[in-house]
Chain A
Amino acid sequence: MAAAGFAIFYISRMLYMSDVSRFFSSLEIYNSYPFLFDILFGFLFNFLFDVSFCLSAVLFIVSGSEACRYIARYGIGTGVPSVGMYSVGIATICSVFGFSLFDQITGFGGFLAGISVSLIFGFICGKITNKYLNLNIPGFTYNMTLVSVATTASFMASGIFLFGSFESIIYLRGMIMSGIAALLFIGTAVMVFHSYNASLGADESHDRTQHLAFSNAFLWMLLLSLISAFFKPVSVVLIIMFSLILFIYSFKKYVKCVKRDSYVISEPALLPTEEELI
């Protein structure tokens, strides 16, 4: 059911990207609708069942990379990864806080608590950074809040997908003590900042970056499902197949965008044979 819903969402999102965002950018309204769309659907998927946490992690990664693109487009001089690292610093402590509340508030309440703490922390950090360090980027606070919320949410959703439980002690023992937390931190951060870091430049186009973000997120989903085979070997094969198909599909779309935007595509010649070298 979640898979069908996600497929419908992905197709509608593609349609949305093509027409509606062009409409809003032609009106020069501050374009925040895609993020809201993503976050809303991420929450909806969280209600469905265990596997859907993986899908919601995908959506949160995509919305985080959108906000990351917005900030880094102004040229802050420190490189795109700094945005991802800032957000992962916030996300680490906030998600540990969220995992802490699983026992006291019922499961999804802990998830919401982690997200709300990261909302406050990200907002204050973004506000003071933009104001006192003289960055003066319009919309910096909003987007920094969004990046930290999206990173926290994708991190927590990945954790819930891996362990499939709402008990704090499992996350403490299985994730933080075993060191899987380090993989999740760095993996989520790289997936958030990579798409714009890889395709920035004078000819950067929005849909190409977004397709790369989608393919990154599906790759992350594939990795997560491969890791989760060690924890709960039941019903993992289906998720692996599903994420592999989605990854290949979105990566093909990305390659199509690259070919569309490139100036010229020249096929490389074969390596020279020994006779030609003499």
Chain B
Amino acid sequence: MIENLFDVSTVLSVSNVAVFLFVLIGGVLISLSVHFIPIGGAPAAMAQATGVGTGTTQLAAGAGLTGLLAAGSVSAVTNNLYLPLFIGSISSCLMIAITMFSANLVYIFGVGCPLVSGKRQRDVITKDRQDVYVSKGTEGHGTPTASFFSGLIGGLIGGFGGSLTYVSILYLCTKTVGISFAGSAAFAATCSIALFYINSVIASYNIGGTIEGFTDQKFKKMPKAIFVSSIASAIFGIITIATVYLFIVPATGGIF
């Protein structure tokens, strides 16, 4: 069994390199998507900053895991490889939209404040004046139109990245190695969740906890996070492929 470890031609086949690249791209897309989502952190929970009032990890992971769940359920009933990607990204986008909308309802009818951002004089999309509505001592409240639109883009990208990782690892396990669907789906979901956590925290460290979407100045710091998350995702991809070849092939002989 041990010779499987060093069989270079098996491990370095075209499909495995493609899976590695897809995992890398998926990780980078997840990191990119966090920059689009309006995250307010603790200040936004007290209606003192723009965005949804929770941390990066929870928000990104919540939307991303919804996408993974949808992608997983779709891939169980179809052999099409592209359908899970789109269903995953759309359901992720839907989840983030529902989160932002329900938070906005609380901000409007519960706290009683208009949806504005203090960083721009006019909203980028609707061109409405917003600086006069910002309460003194705060940076804005709620999720205004530009941030909402940005959050939708973030949900689409993040869901696509997570589903891409899931589908590529699932493909590696089922088609290349030949494991049963249930086992490979569980393994792929575990790996995708881990990748989601790592990359969302990298993006979170880059933006310092809060961001308002693509209208924010912090959005320009994005290339650094992409560099860091590409390195982390590359190592992650290597470990994943190594695990599949070290673990599942020799230990189980493909039966599990």
| Interaction A to B | yes
Which of chain B's residues have a CB closer than 8 A to the CB of A104?
1-2, 5, 246, 250-251
Across the interface, B191 reaches (CB within 8 A) one of A93, A129, A179, namely A93
Complex Cα distance, B248 from A103, in Å, reads 11
Q: Which residues of A contact B (CB under 8 A)?
A: 76-79, 81-82, 85-86, 88-90, 92-94, 96-97, 99-104, 117, 121, 124-125, 128-129, 132-135, 168-169, 172-173, 176-177, 179, 181, 185
Q: Is B118 located at the chain interface by the 8 A CB criterion?
A: no
Q: Which chain B residues border A132 with CB–CB below 8 Å?
A: 224, 227-228
**Pick the contact of A85 from B42, B201, B224 — CB < 8 Å?**
B201
Label chain A's interface by main secondary structure: helix
Question: Is the pair A177, B247 in contact by a Cβ cutoff of 8 Å?
Answer: no
Contact call A168/B243, Cβ cutoff below 8 A: no
Tell me the complex Cα distance, A132–B227, Å: 8
How far is it, in angstroms, between the C-alpha of A94 and the C-alpha of B246 when the chains are bound? 13
- Smallest beta-carbon distance B187→chain A, Å: 6
Q: Which B residues lie at the A interface, using CB under 8 A?
A: 1-2, 5, 41-42, 55-58, 61, 182-183, 186-187, 190-191, 193-198, 200-202, 204-206, 208-210, 224-225, 227-228, 231-232, 235-236, 239-240, 242-243, 246-248, 250-252, 256
A117 pairs with B197, CB closer than 8 A: no
In the assembled complex, the Cα of A206 lies from the Cα of B243 at a distance in Å of 39
Q: Say how far B120's CB is from chain A's closest CB, in angstroms.
A: 22
Distance, CA A277 to CA B256, complexed state (A): 67
User: Which residues of the other chain, A, contact B208 by a CB distance below 8 angstroms?
Assistant: 76-78
A129 touching B202 by the CB < 8 A rule? Answer: yes
Nearest-neighbour CB distance to chain B for A237, whole angstroms, equals 32
CB contact between B55 and one of A82, A172, A176 (< 8 Å): that residue: A82
Identify the interface centre among B41, B187, B247: most chain A CB within 10 Å of its CB.
Answer: B247
Cα A148 to Cα B44 with chains together (Å): 30
Closest Cβ of chain A to B236, distance in Å, is 6
Tell me the nearest residue of chain A to B255, going by C-beta.
A169
| Bound-complex Cα distance A177 to B189 (A) | 10
Known: A79-B209, A92-B194, A133-B205. A100 touches B243 (CB 8 A): yes
Bound-state Cα–Cα, A103 to B195, Å? 26
Among B224, B239, B248, B252: residue with most chain A CB under 10 A: B239
Q: Which residues of B contact A77 (CB under 8 A)?
A: 41, 208-210
Asked if B243 contacts A93 (CB within 8 A), the reply is yes
Complex Cα distance, B193 from A129, in Å, reads 20
B201 lies within 8 A of A92 (CB): no
CB-based contact A93/B205 at 8 Å? no
Closest to B5 in A: A104
CB < 8 Å: which of B206, B227, B243 contacts A96? B243
List A contacts of B197 (CB < 8 A): 85-86, 88-89, 92
- Determine whether the beta carbon of B242 is less than 8 Å from that of A97: yes
Q: Which residues on the A side are within 8 Å of B225 (C-beta)? A: 133
> Given the known A-B contacts A78-B201, A79-B42, A86-B201, are A93 and B228 also in contact in the complex, defined by CB atoms under 8 Å?
no
- Chain A residue at minimal CB-CB distance from B198: A89
Q: Bound complex: CA of A92 vs CA of B236, how far in Å?
A: 11
Of A82, A99, A173, the residue contacting B204 (CB under 8 A) is: A82
Most B CB contacts (10 A, CB to CB) among A76, A93, A94, A168 go to: A93
A-B contacts, 17 listed (Cβ < 8 Å) = A76-B205, A77-B41, A77-B210, A78-B205, A92-B194, A92-B197, A93-B191, A93-B243, A96-B187, A103-B250, A104-B2, A125-B232, A125-B235, A128-B232, A169-B252, A172-B251, A179-B186
Least CB distance from B62 to A in Å reads: 12
Among B55, B194, B228, which residue has its beta carbon within 8 angstroms of that of A129? Answer: B228
B246 touches A81 (CB 8 A): no
Decide if B224 touches A133 in the complex (CB within 8 Å). yes
Which listed residue, A82, A176, A185, touches B201 by the CB 8 Å rule? A82
Per a CB cutoff under 8 Å, which of A93, A129, A168 touches B251?
Answer: A168
Complex Cα distance, B227 from A124, in Å, reads 13
Chain B residue contacts of A78, Cβ below 8 A: 41, 55-57, 201, 204-205, 208-209
With A77-B41, A85-B197 already in contact, 12 other A-B pairs whose C-beta atoms are closer than 8 Å: A78-B57, A79-B209, A82-B55, A89-B194, A89-B195, A90-B194, A96-B243, A132-B228, A133-B206, A172-B183, A181-B190, A185-B193
